Structure 1
Amino acid sequence: MLQMLAVSVVGIAVAAVARRKGWPSPLLLVLAGVVLSPFVPGYELDPQLVLLVFLPPLLYSAAIDSSYLRLKDFRRPVALLSVGLVLFTTLVIGWVTHLLLPQLPLAAAFALGAIVAPPDAVAAVAVARRLGLPRKVVTILVGESLFNDATALTAYRVAIAAAVGQGLTWQDAALDFARSAAGGVVMGLALAWVLAWVLVRLRDALVENTVMLLTPFAVYLAAESLHVSGVIVVVIVGLYIGHRMPRAGFGTRLLSDAVWRVLDFFLETIVFALIGLQMWPIMRGLEWGDGWKLAGMALAVFAAAVIARVVWVVPSIYLPRILSKKIRRTETHAPTWQNVTIVSWAGMRGVVSLAAAFAIPETFPGRDLLLFLTFSVVIGTLLVQGLTFPALIRRLKVSNERETYTDNLAEAAAQQAAATASLARLDELVADGVDELHREVVDQLRTRAERRTLSAWERLGGGTGPEGEETPSSVYRRFRREMLVVERDVFVSLRDERRIDDEVLRRVLHEIDFEEATLERD
């Protein structure tokens, strides 16, 4: 416990320095962990700590922040990466490892492949948030990282069972995989509906967020106890709750945003520091009779992981368009080679791979060597691909500037529609009559609604809005709340109709939530 506290303090200090200097904090945390590893030689990563404590909330947070509609649009590339690429990488690394170590059982080699096959959700989200990648690329990378752990952990369990002599056939493995995935989808949808029903009736921001904070742990444990994919259940629940979040109260959203930002920062800081800290326990368990041979094997497995991704990604993106007229007709814009290159290079592994490696039974053949090879791939991808990723993006001149302009244009049009609807509601309220209604109150309300629209157009170089505003009266607050309800409904409807993106919806709802919060002060 004291060691975990020390890791947290040091990790937060390193992350704080990285944020202030503008450095990539995940990579700096990994390097700090490597440097400090010899000073805490007794600390070995507990797989249950990662799989039960760190993984569920990080997956859930990423799912809440993702867009169900965008993932639905890109379901084919996400599925090809999160399922097809994981299985392909498992086979490639398994065969490469078996060729390098013919004395190692083939099932054990495939276990290593399953361990290092999935890029890490934490690393993918951390990189995507910081680099301003195009939305399509971010959606594919985050969608892949949300679901690929389910594929990898299922393949891992099958390979471990085969290696220890439990006699699983390929038919049994396929059936186990299908049952785990299908069961996870069904259970995830059922739990998501129940939780959404409960959250709607709580009507208390603090209680709602407490329930949401416990949700990833509860649904993951429930899924694993029924032997279905806990990863899939957590992700589906998170996507469903996130999709319905715009219909929650403003206090719930404001508090939820703050809670998950703090929790993400804290958990990601510890996770990346723990990766580096595993260097000494892993190195200590090896027999260094031939260090060059070990280095060569590590390099070969690392290269296989990187090359396998490139070999899979390029044809999996372009071949469906070549073979299917329907895809060419529905997807009018072909993926650019720059975006394909970025997806091919975004294969950073993380703490889930290390947790799976440490969960290998002590009597497993070649366990220490498999731990070393896993650590080599994780560190290699984080440092090599992580350090070169920003330079690659700059070199390819890939950015989301065009999307930013499109979002601003869509937001301005949506603000116009929402303001029109809210002003119509104001006219209805005024027509009903209000005791001691002051004309200046109505004028303030009209000005407030118009100013929101003008401020949106200003981002595109349009007009300017009025400056300064008096403290609203009780009549003002009551009328404005009614108007905000209508505006929020308009924005949600436009999102559901696919006329604005979830990113635009979150941005405008954030502004509305803050305004509604100010109306509740008195």
Structure 2
Amino acid sequence: MESIVDVVALVAISVLGAALARRLGFVAPLVVLVAGLGLSFVPGMPEAHLDPDLVLIGILPPLLYTAALETSVPAFRRALRPILLLAVGLVLFTAFAVGIVLHVLLPQFPFAACVALGAIIAPPDAVSATAIAKRIGLPRRVVTILEGESLLNDASALVLVRVATAALAGASVGFWPIAGQVVLKAGGGIVLGLAAAWIAAKLHRKIEDSLLDDAVSLLTPFVVVIVAEELKTSSVVAVVIAGLYLGHRMPYLLSPTSRLQMEAVWRMITFLLEGIVFLLVGLQLRTVGSDIETSVGTTVGVTVAVIGTLLVTRFVWLYPATYLPRLLPRIRGREERPPITVPTVIGWAGMRGVVTLAAAQTLPKPNPDPKNFVPDYPINLFVFIAFAVIVVTLLLQGTTLSWLAVRLGVRQDNTTADALAEAGVQHQASRAALEALEANADGAPTSVVDRLRALVESRSNNAWERLGSQQQETPSAAYGRLRREMIGAERRVFKIARNEGRIPEEVLTRAQRDLDLEESLLQRSDE
């Protein structure tokens, strides 16, 4: 019973934190994190213990999966080169840079342990990066690069962690074994992800019940992770590949009802998991800080040095990685040269999250037993450093990223260009719809045909109206405002009739569903 109460309390606190953040205009994950930090010092508050398996198998897969579902595959493919430079190259560069700094400051401890911590804190978090980048309104390509980096960098980081911990235990590790392991795990993850996506797509095509579609979608990331762990391949890559494939094919696999319902289900799950994740990170402060054995001076000095190394190495890598490849004619002709402000904003968007803390807690504990020997190193200090990196990057970079983007002029893409493109495509779609109407209108009442023709014309006009933003209220906006008032009046009449016993509950439910669907469409058109 206590565990159920704890879960309910976590959900309630994270929901209240998100509500407060929206009211104050802040980013919800940051408010929830601060709430967790404060609650960790409340007398009587039970200590929070973050189970790494819960994070890596229970929380991370659905968050990665839903982020991949929403990622544009064409945009991801166009940005694949910078994504891989960040997700693989920057992770390796950061891990060894941190490892060298740590080993210089703590030369008595093994270099492999220092590199392992570097790999753990190298990758920005999928949850924090996408949540904050989308919230503050960065250019679409920047968001795609940050999303792609955060989706793939955990795979390269976790492989490097395993290699470093193996070296820590005395296993001989060379370049080619490492490269072979990376290729094997990543390749296995790609194959498994595609196979799982193909099976899930087959199931979605055959399913006609929206609830079953939701169930299959919810099970997919967990099944993929469990199978990947059994096959000793990259579960992160497998989940991401499955999500990218299914997200790209979703318009052809699901009915409209299933798509609407599945979107609502995943939005709710993501909202709750994100809140719980950041709350758990904050609640770890007392637990993590109480186990450190090194002196306060050493702890503070090493932590500051590591965080400084993280911030510097990201910029040191980003500027050459952005501009040097464009010296090649093939890349220069395909990609525009971005202003220096763009890599600067990307460099400042390196927030870490709960995966970093969970991975730190999987580090092997020192063990003098010759059969399972692990040399002595300050594991509690390393866990604390990982925790400090999360808190500092989230609170420092997460709260100032929007300000920096505005100051540097890195803003959201031109909405006028988007509206113009939408209007052009909508015009083509309207012509196709009218042609389909004329081809199938034989025998239909004239009033029905006229009504459908007017609906198509109205939809096409609405798209063009978005270009005329100088008007105080466009016809479509007036239509939405008046129709919402009408829907409210209709809804009240049905409720009164139900209360007076003139219609049964089933009639009210059916009418309410139709009115709710129409009103939700009006809200979407306003966004």
1:280-429 to 2 correspondences below 5 Å: 280-287=286-293, 290-322=295-327, 324-331=328-335, 333-363=336-366, 365-402=377-414, 404-429=415-440
Q: Deviations over 1:135-178 (max 9, x none)?
A: 01000000000000000011011111111223333332221111
Could you tell me which of 465, 468, 474 is aligned with 1:461? 468
Could you tell me which of 208, 215, 225 is aligned with 1:220? 225
Q: Which residues of structure 1 form unaligned runs of 5+?
A: 470-509, 516-522
Output the amino acid matched with 1:330: R
TM-superposed CA distance for 1:20, in Å, is 2.0
Could you tell me which of 230, 234, 253 is aligned with 2:235? 230
Output the amino acid matched with 1:272: F
Partners in 2 of 1:366 and 1:459 — Cα distance? 59
Partners in 2 of 1:41 and 1:298 — Cα distance? 26
Q: Deviations over 1:476-519 (max 9, x none)?
A: xxxxxxxxxxxxxxxxxxxxxxxxxxxxxxxxxx999959xxxx
Q: 1:68, 1:243 within 8 Å by CA — same for their partners in 2?
A: yes
Q: Deviations over 1:16-45 (max 9, x none)?
A: 111222112211111111111134453221
1:29-44 to 2 correspondences below 5 Å: 29-39=32-42, 40=45, 42-44=47-49
Alignment RMSD (CA, Å) = 2.0
1:174-185 to 2 correspondences below 5 Å: 174-185=179-190
Identity of aligned residues (%): 45
SS at match of 1:31: helix
Output the amino acid matched with 1:20: R
**What is the number of equivalent residue pairs in this alignment?**
467
Moved more, 114-123 or 421-430: 421-430
Aligned to 1:250: 256
Q: 1:116, 1:349 within 8 Å by CA — same for their partners in 2?
A: yes
Partners in 2 of 1:413 and 1:174 — Cα distance? 48
Aligned to 1:503: none
Aligned to 1:445: 452
1:154-193 to 2 correspondences below 5 Å: 154-193=159-198
Q: Deviations over 1:214-260 (max 9, x none)?
A: 11111011111101100000000001110011222111110111111
SS at match of 1:38: coil
Moved more, 114-123 or 191-200: 191-200
TM-superposed CA distance for 1:115, in Å, is 0.5
Partners in 1 of 2:58 and 2:438 — Cα distance? 52
Aligned to 1:8: 11
Partners in 1 of 2:400 and 2:448 — Cα distance? 57
Output the amino acid matched with 2:389: V
Q: 1:454, 1:464 within 8 Å by CA — same for their partners in 2?
A: no
TM-score (norm 1): 0.86
1:428-439 to 2 correspondences below 5 Å: 428-430=439-441, 433-434=442-443, 437-439=444-446
Output the amino acid matched with 2:221: P
Output the amino acid matched with 2:292: L
Partners in 2 of 1:512 and 1:28 — Cα distance? 31
TM-superposed CA distance for 1:397, in Å, is 2.2
Partners in 2 of 1:207 and 1:238 — Cα distance? 18
Partners in 1 of 2:339 and 2:364 — Cα distance? 45
TM-superposed CA distance for 1:48, in Å, is 0.6
